[in-house]
Amino acid sequence: MKPVTHNAAVRQITTVLKGPVAEAFRHTVPALAELNGNEFYESVMSNTSLLNACMVIFQSRRDAFSHLLIDNRNRPVGDDFVPLKCGRSVHDIVAMVVRSHAKRHFHSSLGGDPNDPNSRANRLYKAINEYLIHEWQVAMVPHYAPLPVDKVVELGPAILEARDPQALERLTGIPVSAPVVEAPPPADEPVMVAVTPPPRPAPAAPLGRSKDEDYWWETLHDPMVRRALTLDEGAMRETISALANIGDATRKDVMSDLGLSMSQAAVVLATAFQVMGRNGFNAIFGSPGKPPAVRMFAERLAATDQRKRNDLNGLAAVVTALLQQQGARPAGLVT
């Protein structure tokens, strides 16, 4: 199956949000019953409270959206990291929605064209968009807006450690509880009260790490990734260090060209590190590594069962089998 390009996926997802998703919410939430697709999309995407409420409803009422959570063969998908019919996973779609809302909010609260590189809205969005990946961050968007761009760049993925405004203030030393500025809902739209779920516990990354190490720490501590890998803390630290130093060939051939999500990439590379050991992994996947061997591994992985690759537990098993077939040695990858 030909991979879905980013722009095509965005267009398809937006159409689904305005159509079947809006319809599902109209049936689930009486307050939204009178909004057509475009009104629903514009109202929700421009209003933090409304979008946060919709995120909570989606998570608590998955049954109302089950007809949309299917793959390209119309089979049910229960894993947020498995691609849906549109070619993107629920995890990917949530990230897209959070980023779209952030861009709108920065525009309304900071002024200036968010597409203008010289505007503060654009500079802030550019600095933070890579780390807007979780549904709980919708409620944090108004509190990101007051942050100086330089501070966001300095924090990088460490910004994900702060899951409420108070934690963000402690992390940055900057007051962020400014009044929320957002587009008002249509005059005839009933007011919805957002219900904010409790923050999900996650370990804080140790101090003194690089930005790449912080990013892999966050990804590898995702509950679904941890279940697929079952690493103890010692092995976790070693794996994070190795993944933070992968080479350009690995980033291109394994992560980019295969279209892997961060969670999938984490499972692939962490499994390879477990099977091959530090020296073997660094020799192939590190910097500079062995680009021909990386390319061959990526090609063999691409040729495996799509269903197993889409399941994180199955993906770990696939990678283990591939490497064991090849001897799990650097030379074995190029024979």
Q: For the chain, where are the E strands, in sequence order?
A: none
Q: Would you state the pLDDT for residue 291?
A: 92
148 lies in the same domain as 22: yes
Helix axes 262-285, 211-220, angle to 10 degrees: 130
The reported pLDDT for the residue numbered 333 is 53
User: How many Å separate Cα 331 from the centre of its chain?
Assistant: 34
> Do 68 and 24 meet the contact criterion of CB atoms below 8 Å apart?
yes
What pLDDT does residue 58 have? Answer: 87
What's the pLDDT at 180? 43
Helix (H, G, I), strand (E, B) or coil at 76: strand
Predicted pLDDT of residue 182: 44
Specify whether 20 is located in the same domain as 145. Answer: yes
Q: Is residue 200 in a domain?
A: no
| Predicted local confidence at residue 199, as pLDDT | 38
Please give the pLDDT value at position 195.
34
Distance of CA 73 to the CA centre of its chain: 24
CA distances from 73 to 21, 64, 86 (A): 19, 20, 11
Q: Is residue 328 part of a domain?
A: yes
**What is the four-CA torsion angle of 305, 310, 314, 315, rounded to 10 degrees?**
90
pTM of the model: 0.56
* pLDDT tens sequence for the chain (335 residues): 455 566 777 788 888 888 889 888 888 877 778 888 888 888 889 888 889 888 888 888 888 888 889 888 888 888 888 888 877 888 889 989 999 999 999 998 888 787 888 899 999 999 999 889 888 899 999 999 999 999 999 888 888 888 888 889 988 888 876 444 444 443 333 333 333 333 344 454 555 567 678 778 878 887 778 888 888 878 888 999 999 899 989 988 888 777 777 778 889 999 999 999 999 999 999 988 999 999 999 999 988 876 666 677 788 888 988 888 765 444 445 43
pLDDT of residue 194: 35
How many CB atoms neighbour CB 190 within 10 A? 11
Residues 232 and 316 in one domain: yes
Show the domain range for 40: 6-172
Q: How far apart are CA 121 and CA 255, in angstroms?
A: 29
Separation between Cα atoms, residue 268 and residue 265, nearest integer Å: 5
Q: Choose one of 172, 195, 223: the last residue of a domain.
A: 172
Residue 194 in domain: no
DSSP designation for 144: H
In this structure, are 136 and 224 located in the same domain? no
Supply the pLDDT for residue 187: 37
DSSP 8-state assignment for residue 39: H
Provide the CA 304 distance to its chain's centre, in angstroms: 24
